[in-house]
Amino acid sequence: MKVAIPLVNGLLSMQFGHCAEFAILDAVPETGAITRQELLTAPPHEPGLLPRWLAEKGVKLVIAGGMGGRARDLFTEQQITVVTGAPAAAPEILVRDYFTGKLQTGENCCDH
């Protein structure tokens, strides 16, 4: 499964829509094992663009610190699951913890 994580300085970015790059990881859902990882430069910020762009990359899950309601709705339209409230950690840790049921999430830090 392809998972996207917005990054700043190699860690999850709390500001989803304004990150400079994304880690795209291929993971085995049953174990959380990562089989491939790539860093992609985010396209210029434009409302509604990121859900389409990530869907075109085959992403099925986004792990984020925070995300507004409209963005979450647009991801749902693209059949992409969104998890918010994740901590600023390395993408490999977030993906492994998500698939092994250990990801601890807090409040959506960008719920507007």
* String of DSSP letters for 2-16: EEEEEEETTEE-S-G
E strand spans, the chain: 2-8, 11-12, 21-27, 34-41, 59-63, 81-83
**pLDDT of the chain, 112 residues: tens digit per residue:** 999 999 999 999 988 877 889 999 999 999 999 999 999 999 887 888 999 999 999 999 999 998 988 999 999 999 999 999 999 999 999 999 999 999 999 888 665 4
Q: What is the pLDDT of residue 110?
A: 64
Q: What is the pLDDT of residue 54?
A: 97
Q: What is the pLDDT of residue 109?
A: 66
Radius of gyration of the chain (CA): 12
CATH of 2-99, one of 3.30.420.130, 3.40.605.10, 3.30.457.10, 3.30.720.110: 3.30.420.130
- What DSSP letter does each residue of 50-65 carry, written as one string? HHHHHHHTTEEEEE-S
Q: Are 99 and 4 in contact (CB under 8 A)?
A: no
